[in-house]
Amino acid sequence: MQDPDRTILITGATSGLGRAVAESLAARGGRLILHGRDPARLQDVAAELQPLNASIDFVTADLSDLSQVDEMAEQIFELTDHLNVLVNNAGLGKGASDHRETSSDGHELRLAINHLAPFALTFRLLPLLETGAPSRIVNVASGAQEPIDFDDPHLTEGYTGNRAYAQSKFAMVAAGFQLANRLPAEVITVNSLHPATLMPTRMVREGYGHTVDDLDTGVDAVLRLIESAALEDVTGQYFSIQQPAQAHPQTYDPDVQQRLWDLTEKLTGIQF
């Protein structure tokens, strides 16, 4: 059984990979804070996990709306005085079509949900992660990565769902590298991963119509970044499943990282 005081927040915990990770962790005990967009789905998760060992709280927010991200952070501060792990798992895939969508804040939707929201949430929760130190930030990214078009980050021209998805995950990884450089590893580590290839989730079925890896592959990869003692001081890394890997070359470029960081601060209204 895990330390009952260990507190883990998982976004996107009502389906797919996030729900499966939550189930695995709940069976081990400790405390979980699980995020979802749909209250009804959160109730389903609550009913399913209630017999297990963990203490579980739930928070609701639509991550396409940055004001709701802020509200969710406030809810989390009311629930706990510390976090030991933040798993930025919630995400939006390429979609079933190449129809461009925007968030309520006017941002390209995949950039908003897959990058801007976890960036903003992470920033808001840093005080809780510092209190819970040594703590970990785990960014569930993807092997699909494409550099940001800084002249058109919202892809008003040349939009495709694949391009939008890959650009948003590139942003998540590159910003994670930059954040890791800004935080002492003995306090908070920041790592990103490609958990598995085309797992059997709704997002994958909608976008691709077929699967490759099973869900357990992704769960085990995420759990390793959450729990492995061998990764205690490892930060600023990218993993493919359970192996250290190379992200897109431009994610390591300091100039690209800084331009992305400046753009992200501008779009979220956050100053680190």
Catalytic residues: 165
Q: Please tell me the distance from the alpha carbon of residue 227 to that of residue 84, in angstroms, as a whole number.
A: 11
Alpha helix locations (H) across 183-253? 202-207, 215-227
CA contacts within 13 A on the Cβ side of 180:
24
Give the angle 237-187-223 at the CA atoms, nearest 5°. 50
Terminal CA-CA length for the chain: 37
Name residues whose C-beta falls within 8 Å of residue 1's C-beta, 6 or more positions apart in sequence: 28, 29, 30, 53
Closest listed residue to residue 261, CA positions, set 185, 153, 158, 160: 153
Q: Is the dihedral of CA 6, 169, 197, 57 positive or negative?
A: positive
Q: Please tell me the distance from the alpha carbon of residue 67 to that of residue 167, in angstroms, as a whole number.
A: 23
Name residues whose C-beta falls within 8 Å of residue 6's C-beta, 6 or more positions apart in sequence: 30, 31, 84, 85
For the sheet containing 55-60, what is the strand order? Answer: 55-60, 31-36, 7-10, 85-88, 135-140, 188-194, 237-240, 243-244
